[in-house]
């Protein structure tokens, strides 16, 4: 049972405002959904305005790092060189790459090519070639706050089929994003993402999903894409999480490589991922990193 706060007590969110003027109505609303049997966010998943402002700044750095590297993601560059650029730009902007040393991950960025699903490790041996598609997944710690987003890049002349997969993967994220609203549900985005991928003959990886983020790199809730509308966790203002569906051209099955990090498609088909970091606002959503 959660502690009942007096109307004049300081709010549990840490805003230092009176509970009555802060999250009292919010709590009533959440309780209402809970009584109807819905899964509801815990107080730990709700950020206060100061935290949101700080996480927003982290997200801006993250997006700026991705912007800065864009012109270099071309034929002939190695993923090791991309890693150096990401590291340098992040430091230059006052941040720290969140991935570097995270659970002993050895690099500052994940670079996943073609049939690599995610968590590709940059290497001096991996040279970008004409026709490759690559995901660059960046995450940043800025003034102790975390952000995370990723984009796909096409190297040179990419086949029509691969370009279509890249486009549909991006559409999946955008369609999911548009479902984000207070008092909606995580299943709302899961359903549209799943449907859009399947409509194009693709599949969505089930084992890997998005996550809460902000005070730490990976926080609850976990964001999967198998949901049905009006099911799954309730969305409430102040929640921050990533939407990062992985779409495979073939089957959804994946396997983990010997390096312990990188996943590949089981059937060798191409795989794409776009990742956006989003805040649930009072009237919809705000993109914090893309
Ligand atoms: N941005 C990736 C994710 O959220 C980072 C994975 S952790 C790493 O899944 F160590 F592999 F970088
Ligand atoms: Co992520």
Residue 281, phi then psi, degrees to nearest 5: -100, -175
Domain definitions of the chain by residue range: 19-289
- pLDDT band (50, 70, 90) for residue 67: very high
The packing angle between helices 186-199 and 160-178, to 10°, is 160
- Which of 65, 108, 118, 257 is the best mutation target for the ligand 1 pocket, counting ligand atoms within 8 Å of the beta carbon and taking the most? 118
**Confidence check: pLDDT of 1 > 70:** no
pLDDT in tens, 243-269: 999 999 999 999 999 999 999 999 999
- pLDDT band (50, 70, 90) for residue 8: confident
Mean pLDDT, range 169-178, rounded to an integer: 98
- pLDDT band (50, 70, 90) for residue 109: very high
- pLDDT band (50, 70, 90) for residue 2: low
Cα-to-centroid distance, 270 and ligand 1 (Å): 19
Tell me how far apart the alpha carbons of residues 21 and 2 are, in angstroms, rounded to a whole number.
Answer: 19
**Confidence check: pLDDT of 177 > 90:** yes
Mean pLDDT, range 15-28, rounded to an integer: 96
**Confidence check: pLDDT of 108 > 60:** yes
| Ligand 1 close to Cβ of residue 107 (< 6 A) | no
pLDDT in tens, 222-244: 999 999 999 999 999 999 999 99
Cα-to-centroid distance, 138 and ligand 2 (Å): 9
Residue 146, phi then psi, degrees to nearest 5: -105, 145
pLDDT at 131: 98
pLDDT at 4: 73
Q: How much is the pTM? A: 0.97
Domain 19-289 has CATH 3.90.230.10: yes
Tell me how far apart the alpha carbons of residues 95 and 160 are, in angstroms, rounded to a whole number.
Answer: 37
- pLDDT band (50, 70, 90) for residue 136: very high
Residue nearest to atom 5 of ligand 1 (CA): 99
**Confidence check: pLDDT of 6 > 90:** no
How much is the mean pLDDT over the chain?
Answer: 97
pLDDT at 261: 98
pLDDT at 37: 98
pLDDT in tens, 178-198: 999 999 999 999 999 999 999
| Ligand 1 close to Cβ of residue 183 (< 6 A) | no
**Confidence check: pLDDT of 172 > 80:** yes
Q: Using an 8 Å Cβ cutoff, are 269 and 257 in contact? A: no
Tokens encoding 121: 């490790």
Q: Minimal CA–CA distance to 47: which of 38, 39, 59, 56?
A: 56
Q: Identify which ligand lies nearest to the alpha carbon of 277.
A: 2
- Which of 139, 223, 242, 262 is the best mutation target for the ligand 1 pocket, counting ligand atoms within 8 Å of the beta carbon and taking the most? 139
- pLDDT band (50, 70, 90) for residue 22: very high
pLDDT at 5: 81
Mean pLDDT, range 27-48, rounded to an integer: 98
pLDDT at 3: 66
User: Number of C-alpha atoms within 13 angstroms, CB side, residue 227?
Assistant: 24
Tell me how far apart the alpha carbons of residues 112 and 133 are, in angstroms, rounded to a whole number.
Answer: 8
């Amino acid at each position: 049972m959660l502690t009942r706060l007096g109307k004049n007590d300081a709010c549990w969110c840490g805003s230092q405002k009176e509970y009555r003027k802060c999250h009292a109505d919010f709590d009533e609303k959440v309780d209402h959904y809970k009584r109807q049997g819905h899964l509801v966010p815990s107080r730990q998943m709700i950020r206060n305005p100061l935290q949101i402002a700080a996480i927003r700044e982290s997200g801006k750095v993250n997006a700026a790092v991705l912007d800065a590297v864009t012109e270099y993601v071309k034929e002939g560059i190695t993923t090791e060189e991309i890693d150096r650029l990401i590291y340098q730009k992040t430091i230059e902007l006052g941040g720290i790459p969140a991935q570097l040393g995270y659970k002993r991950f050895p690099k500052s960025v994940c670079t996943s090519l073609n049939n690599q699903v995610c968590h590709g490790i940059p290497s001096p041996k991996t040279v970008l070639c004409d026709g490759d598609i690559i995901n660059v997944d960046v995450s940043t710690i800025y003034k102790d706050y975390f952000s995370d987003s990723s984009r796909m890049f096409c190297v040179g002349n990419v086949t029509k089929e691969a370009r279509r997969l890249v486009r549909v993967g991006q559409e999946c994220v955008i369609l999911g994003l548009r479902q984000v609203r207070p008092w909606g549900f995580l299943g709302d985005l899961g359903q549209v993402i799943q449907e859009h991928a399947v409509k194009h003959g693709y599949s969505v990886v089930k084992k890997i999903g998005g996550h809460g983020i902000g005070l730490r790199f990976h926080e609850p809730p976990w964001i999967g894409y198998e949901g049905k509308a009006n099911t799954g966790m309730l969305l409430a203002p102040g929640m921050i999480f990533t939407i990062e569906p992985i779409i495979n051209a073939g089957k959804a099955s994946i396997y983990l490589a010997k390096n312990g990090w990188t996943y590949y498609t089981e059937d060798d088909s191409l795989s794409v991922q776009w990742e956006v970091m989003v805040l649930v606002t009072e009237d919809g959503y705000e993109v914090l990193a893309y």
